A = this chain, B = another copy of it.
Amino acid sequence: MLAAALRILDEQGLPDLTMRHLATTLGVQPSALYWHFPNKQALLAAVSDQIIASARPADTATGDWRDRVRHEAAALHDALLAYKDGAEVVSSTLALGLGADGLAHRLARAISGGGFDQQTTGLAAETMVLFLVGHAFHQQQRLQADSLGAVAGAHSLDRDDPAGPPSGPQAFDLGITLLVAGLDTQSRMARPA
């Protein structure tokens, strides 16, 4: 039934992931779902955890902590983009404070390779989570708008007008780089080698 929810999400999108639609798919009454999940948010939290868990694991052996952090962030970012509306689902779950903790934990583990104290590590991880999810959400929304608005727009390929910033993978990389560089500075200030 979690699997069915993920299928609806990926094939039809979040607006169609309703309790009633899911019930129909399962050949069951809507009320039956409430034996398995207390409410819809709990369902979405479970879906979110599934999406995050699907992110390819970090190659823990290679590179210094900076690369590990960058790779882990990229892997999680990709996982959110892999499911239709994946970023939005995770974003809502995260904001409501239910689940989706895997995101912060995985980033924190990578960051802790830099030898920061626990508090800095946690704060930095949280900062990166918010940027990562926000960016994925934003990007996913634009991709969908483009694919639907190919009618009206007629400029589907000349996005990234020079007035606004480009917002694809390049923007994501810069954000992560900024944060990693900032962390690096912090570490030098704390224990100036």
Contact = CB atoms under 8 A, between A and B. Distances in A.
Contact of A138 (B97, B125, B137, B181): B97
A111 to B, nearest CB: 11
A122 to B, nearest CB: 3
Nearest to A174: B123
Nearest to A118: B162
A98 to B, nearest CB: 10
Interface string A138-169: 10011001000000000000000010111100
Given A134-B131, A134-B134, A123 B165 contact: yes
A179 B137 CA distance: 20
Interface residues of A, number: 46
Given A95-B141, A178-B183, A179-B179, 16 more contacts: A95-B134, A95-B138, A97-B138, A97-B145, A119-B166, A122-B165, A123-B166, A126-B171, A126-B175, A127-B131, A127-B171, A127-B178, A129-B134, A131-B131, A178-B182, A182-B182
Which 6 A-B pairs have CB atoms at the shortest separation, nearest pair first? A122-B165, A130-B134, A178-B182, A182-B182, A127-B175, A181-B182
